[in-house]
């Protein structure tokens, strides 16, 4: 699935900050400014050359309303720039930037995300995305809900008690930031020797009532993968966004990833809101540096893999399958 009017769009640069468990030195703008500067430098672009900027962040992580506005200084928004924001993982900001580039009036886009979870109680912050009528009043938090999914998978014989126990250990909170530069057509070929062409990208969501879903399957991942063309050809490498081991089992099944595909495990420190964008960034980087010809990236959001995005990247601009 390429763009409208045959407009091909590629990732030409990716940078992330090494995540730290608790960053007491940097506020949001200080997380964003270095990755933005470095990503643009790698792409050979000046700030003024960027056609569109889109960011992903979440005010609830920092407890600060309009946190994303404070971070904007890092991209030098004065004089005014063409800019947008999603209150989501940066993977969805990248999706918006991809759609924006399809419009054809701009040729480059900068996407960044930052997450600073160390200031609050992450499982309780994540509970804010639960149904406010039937779930939030119970005081149930995100890790407990992950435990329900792990148990269901264990009951189905597809996970072990060890996988269930992993959930009880809780998630590793970390702070971080990442940036990606996108470019269209000939511009991408000018900015990178080996652009990572987005051959397909799609995202899908499941009902917010957990009990209305089959928690042992990820139908939204499967559907997004079909629409992104992920099954047209086996990728060389796959970067999956899983908060817990049992989530990776469900994702591998949904994406039909077998042992012939190099799987890159989720890192120990995986900053919320940034993690999904880094999967796409790392997948692109393996294509950019010649490590793979075709890479698959996945990002997730919401309780128990509620919403999923799949992106297929390829060194070849033309369809080869």
Partner 1 sequence: MDDGFEAPYRLEYTYRRSTGAVIGRFLGALRDGRLEGVRTAGGRVLSPPLEYDPESGEDVGAPVDVGPGGVVTTWTWVAAPRPDHPVARPFAWALVRLDGADTAMLHAVDVGGEPGGIRTGLRVRARWRAERTGTIRDLECFVPHDGATPIDVARPTTEVSGPVALLPSPVRLDYTIIAGRHLRTYLSGLAKKRIVGGRCPRCRKVYLPPRGACPTCGVPADHEVEVRDTGTITTFCIIRIPFDAAPFPPPYAAVAVLLDGADMPIFHLVRGIPPEEVRMGMRVRATWVPDAELAPTLASIRWFEPSGEADLPYESIEAHL
Smallest separation (angstroms) from partner 1 to the CB of 25: 5
What Rg do the C-alpha atoms of the chain give, in angstroms? 19
Nearer to partner 1, 216 or 278 (CB): 216
Nearer to partner 1, 92 or 114 (CB): 114
Joined tokens for residue 27: 């506020």
* Length in residues, the chain: 321
Could you tell me whether strands 262-264 and 307-314 are parallel, antiparallel, or unpaired per DSSP bridges?
unpaired
Q: Binding partner 1 by CB under 8 A: which of 10, 13, 36, 237?
A: 36
Asked if residues 106 and 51 have their Cβ atoms less than 8 Å apart, the reply is yes
Cβ partners under 8 Å of residue 136, min gap 6: 127, 128, 130
The reply to whether 178 sits near partner 1 by the rule CB under 8 A is no
Smallest separation (angstroms) from partner 1 to the CB of 156: 10
How many residues of this chain interact with partner 1, rule: CB under 8 A? 56
Smallest separation (angstroms) from partner 1 to the CB of 201: 23
Cβ partners under 8 Å of residue 252, min gap 6: 240, 263
The reply to whether 318 sits near partner 1 by the rule CB under 8 A is no
Asked if residues 175 and 19 have their Cβ atoms less than 8 Å apart, the reply is yes
Which range in 85-93, 128-136, 272-280, 294-302 contacts partner 1 by CB under 8 A?
Answer: 128-136
Stretch (H or E) spanning 84:
strand 83-86
Residue numbers at the binding site for partner 1 (CB under 8 A): 24-27, 29-30, 32-33, 36-37, 47, 60, 62-64, 72-79, 119-121, 124-125, 128, 132-140, 144-145, 147-152, 155, 167-168, 206-207, 209-212, 215
């Amino acid at each position: 699935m390429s763009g409208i009017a045959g407009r091909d769009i590629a990732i030409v640069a990716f940078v992330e900050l090494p995540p730290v468990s608790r960053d007491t030195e940097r506020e949001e703008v200080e997380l964003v400014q270095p990755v933005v500067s470095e990503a643009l430098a790698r792409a050979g672009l000046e700030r003024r050359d960027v056609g569109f900027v889109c960011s992903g962040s979440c005010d609830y992580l920092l407890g600060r309303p309009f946190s994303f506005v404070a971070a904007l200084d890092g991209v030098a928004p004065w004089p005014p720039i063409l800019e947008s924001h999603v209150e989501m993982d940066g993977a969805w900001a990248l999706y918006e930037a991809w759609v924006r580039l399809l419009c054809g009036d701009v040729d480059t886009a900068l996407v960044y995300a930052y997450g600073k979870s160390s200031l609050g109680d992450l499982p309780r912050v994540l509970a804010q995305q639960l149904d406010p009528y039937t779930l939030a009043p119970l005081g149930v938090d995100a890790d407990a809900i992950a435990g329900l999914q792990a148990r269901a998978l264990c009951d189905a014989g597809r996970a072990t008690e060890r996988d269930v126990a992993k959930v009880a250990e809780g998630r590793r909170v970390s702070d971080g930031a990442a940036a990606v530069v996108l470019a269209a057509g000939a511009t991408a070929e000018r900015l990178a020797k080996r652009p990572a062409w987005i051959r397909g990208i799609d995202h899908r969501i499941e009902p917010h009532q957990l009990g209305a879903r089959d928690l042992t399957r990820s139908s939204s991942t499967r559907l997004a993968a079909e629409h992104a063309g992920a099954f047209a050809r086996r990728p060389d490498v796959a970067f999956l966004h899983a908060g817990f081991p049992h989530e990776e089992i469900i994702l591998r099944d949904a994406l039909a990833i077998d042992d012939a595909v190099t799987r890159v495990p989720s890192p120990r420190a995986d900053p919320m809101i940034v993690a999904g964008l880094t999967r796409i960034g790392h997948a692109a980087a393996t294509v950019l540096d010649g490590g793979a010809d075709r890479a698959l990236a996945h990002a997730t959001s919401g309780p128990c893999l509620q919403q999923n995005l799949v992106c297929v990247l390829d060194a070849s601009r033309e369809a080869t399958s």
